[in-house]
Amino acid sequence: MMCSILGPEQGWRRAGVLVLVGMSMALAPGCSMPERGPRRQAFGHDSPVYGGRFVFSAEDDVRTLDPAVGYDSDSWNLEHLIFDTLLAYDDDVQLVPSLASSWEVDERGLVYTFHLRDDVRFHTGRLMVADDVVGSWNRLFDPALASPATDFFGVIQGADAVMEGRADRLSGLVALDPHTVQVTLDHPDSTFPNIVAMMFGAIIPPEVAAELGDRFALTPVGTGPFQVTERAVGEHTLLTAFDDFWQPGLPYLDEVEFLAGYPRSLAFMKLENDEIHEVDRLTSPDYLWLKHNPAWRRQLYEYPAVDTYGELMNTEMPPFDDVWFRRAVSTAINRDKLRKLRNGRLRPTVSWVPPALPGFADWDKLTPEERADFQYQRYDPDLSRECLAKSRYADGLSEPLTYWAVDTEGSLVTAMSIQQDLAAVGIPMELKLVTLSTYFTASGRRKTVPFAYAAWVMDFPHERNFLESRFHCRMISDENSTNDSFYCNPEVDALLDRAARTMDEGQARELYWQAHRIIARDAPYAFEYHSTALSVTQPYVKGFRAHPVYNRDMREAWLDLPEGRPTPDRGGAP
């Protein structure tokens, strides 16, 4: 029997999705959906080969390539290829030496000494020395950059004096010799090595940054395996291999190209056509089609992301300056409905700290006293109505809430679901659609974004990174504010500060837990879910890692294709 095909080849996937989702269509007896697999398979080289261009994309362009400013996963994907930090993370998320060959801290936890490698070159060809570390970290405090890094590196002695204009350099940051840097902190901080490993801590040639000024964000210079050769804002960024990279034999790829402005459906179509090598976001139809296509399913890698998603509520802007109104909004949101709408790939939560870290709040394991705090972070429409009645807005709002939604499938699905949930308890809401780059800029600006879909993705594996970064008063600034709900509670600050300064791990855990409980009760965010991350690659892509910290890590990627070269001779790139 002949099978009816709905449209061209691409239409098969859409037809198949209808079968999988709605179960309202069926294929005729004896017919089956054609199995469209990858166009090329791995050649079968026994070891990595050199050459080729790795291509990946995102829906929006990266905000910046300046490591002092970039503070989002898309920017870090590229920055991780261009720059290095003194310390880095291995595949088990353990700190390991990088530009620093070793380090130590004194018994008080105040003085860190980093011993640098002597064979690291910048893309300009100049050798890296200790003065470059001093210059790179002092640059973070340049007022013109408005760098979020000051929230982290501000623990270095003398940071307050620099930020207040009383000094122009950090007194606690000294080059003892060309290959030794000593850092003195204002107070003990057990997470300082994690801070050093953040992309903010990337080492750059200060003289190049000074010469280029704002243009450094477009054509930066680092020590990483790739250097920037083309940057067309809003279109693409091309990186080429740096032959004097300090790690012998790397990189294997000749080039990496990032394409901006590719919606998820287009990116996956390009993947099928062998024009893109990896995608990390899929539309729901594409995800379901892929899960039911054996040829592509084996190329899918899914893993729990170390993140938390929710809704920011700007506590400086009415009506979210009212804690009872925030609680009403948070308890009106049906987290389980969101899970179902997103193909079951979400884990509903009452916790801002994700399950992979100490301090995760598991509702089933909470005491009654703890549940009294975390109850405002779970779906309970009756409680929502009670909270609304206790707020200043019990008689209704003068106008609908304005909700900023990024023009992507996940954001829009969430927005429309929340719009329905809030309407059910008597809270009207309207949507404002923006691009991701517009959202990132606006959400860090005071009194600009009242209500929005937001998230926190791990910078380093510690609950401090989730609690302090989003909810400490110190993280508030007029521009590029990390604390995007602009929530400020001195009691929470005191607990977070005490936790950060103690070297007693048990005491720190208890202090973070107390802060977490208060934040949940105050509801500057509606905590919603932890996500499942994914990566789909071509069969011949090898060495690519979906890393918990670095996300899309292409540093050791290679293409297992016949034209691969056995040596890194860049003269004959395939």
pLDDT digits (tens, 9 = 90+) for 76-99: 999 999 999 999 999 888 899 999
Residue 27 has pLDDT above 60, yes or no: no
Q: For the residues 3-31, what does the mean pLDDT come to?
A: 33
Per-residue pLDDT at 429 exceeds 90: yes
Other Cβ atoms within 10 Å of 170 Cβ, number = 22
Dihedral angle sign, alpha carbons of residues 212, 215, 217, 220: negative
* Spatial CA neighbour of 441 closest among 58, 69, 57: 69
* pLDDT for 144 beyond 60: yes
CA distance 499 to 464: 8
**Which whole number is the average pLDDT over 43-51?**
96
In the prediction, which pLDDT does 73 show? 82
- Rounded Cα distance between 433 and 410, Å, is 13
Burial 59-98 (b: 16+ CB within 10 A, else e): bbbbbbbbbbbbbebbbbbbbbbbbbbbbbbeeeeebeeb
Q: Which region, left, alpha or beta, applies to residue 213 given φ > 0 means left and ψ of -120 to 50 means alpha?
A: left
Q: Angle 28-29-31 (CA atoms, 0-180°, nearest 5)?
A: 70
DSSP assignment string, 409-463: HHHHHHHHHHHHHHHHTT--EEEEEE-HHHHHHHHTSTTT--EEEEEEE-SSSSH
Token pair listed for 82: 């261009």
Strands (E), 131-202: 173-177, 180-184
> Looking at residue 28, what is its pLDDT?
41
Q: Are 208 and 124 in contact (CB under 8 A)?
A: yes
- Site of tokens 């790739």: 226
Can you state the percent helix, strand and coil of the chain, rounding each to 5? 35, 20, 45
Q: Could you give the CA distance from residue 283 to residue 342 in angstroms, rounded to a whole number?
A: 10
Closest C-alpha to 147, from 128, 162, 133, 126: 162
Q: Where in the chain is the domain with CATH 3.10.105.10?
A: 307-531
- Nearest C-alpha neighbor of 358 from the set 490, 454, 457, 465: 465
Tell me how many degrees the CA angle 343-347-352 measures, rounded to the nearest 5: 140
Report which residue type is found at 93: V
Q: What is the percent of the chain where pLDDT is above 70?
A: 93
SS3 100: strand
3-state secondary structure of 280: coil
For residue 530, count other CB atoms closer than 10 A to its CB.
Answer: 22
Architecture field, domain 307-531: Roll (3.10)
427 vs 317: CA distance, rounded Å: 16
What radius of gyration, in Å, describes the C-alpha atoms of the chain?
A: 25
For residue 433, with 0-12 CB atoms within 10 Å meaning exposed, 13-18 middle and 19 or more buried, which class applies? Answer: middle
- Specify the domain boundaries for CATH 3.90.76.10 within the chain: 62-217
Is residue 555 pLDDT above 60, yes or no? yes
CB of 69 closer than 8 Å to CB of 142:
no
Other beta carbons less than 10 A from residue 21's beta carbon? 13
Q: Is the pLDDT of residue 32 over 70?
A: no
Q: What per-residue confidence (pLDDT) applies to 98?
A: 98
Mean pLDDT of all residues in the chain?
A: 91
What pLDDT, on a 0 to 100 scale, did the predictor assign at position 407? 79
**In the structure, what pLDDT confidence band is assigned to residue 34 with cuts at 50, 70 and 90?**
low
Assess whether pLDDT exceeds 60 at residue 17: no
Tell me which of 305 and 466 has the higher pLDDT. Answer: 466
Q: Which two tokens stand for residue 369?
A: 């006293």
Beta bridge partners of 180: 115, 177
Strand, helix or coil at 213? Answer: helix
Q: What Å distances lie between residue 331 and 171, 393, 429, 521, CA to CA?
A: 48, 16, 16, 11
Average pLDDT over residues 432-453: 92
How high is the pLDDT of residue 35? 61
pLDDT of 24 reads 35
pLDDT, residue 303, reads 87
Tokens linked to 191: 């997470």
- For the segment 301-305, the average pLDDT, to the nearest whole number, is 89
Tens-place pLDDT, residues 317-348: 999 999 999 999 999 999 999 999 988 889 99
Topology, domain 62-217: Dipeptide-binding Protein; domain 1 (3.90.76)
CA–CA gap between residue 486 and residue 476 (Å, rounded): 6
Beta strands 401-406 and 429-434, pairing class: parallel
pLDDT 10s digits, 205-215: 999 999 999 99
Percentage of the chain exceeding pLDDT 90: 78
Residue 243 has what DSSP assignment? T
Q: How confident is the model at residue 561 (pLDDT cuts 50, 70, 90)?
A: very high
pLDDT of 33 over the 60 cut: no
The answer on pLDDT for 54 being more than 90 is yes
Among 444, 418, 371, residue whose Cα is nearest residue 529: 418
Give per-residue pLDDT as tens, 175-207: 999 999 999 999 999 899 999 999 999 999 999
What is the average pLDDT across 132-139? 98
Q: Determine the pLDDT at residue 16.
A: 31
Helix (H, G, I), strand (E, B) or coil at 236: strand
* Per-residue exposure over 219-228, b if at least 16 CB sit within 10 Å of its own CB, e if not: ebbbbbbbbb
Mean of the pLDDT values across residues 414-430? Answer: 97
Check residue 409 and give its pLDDT: 73
pLDDT at 243 over 90: yes
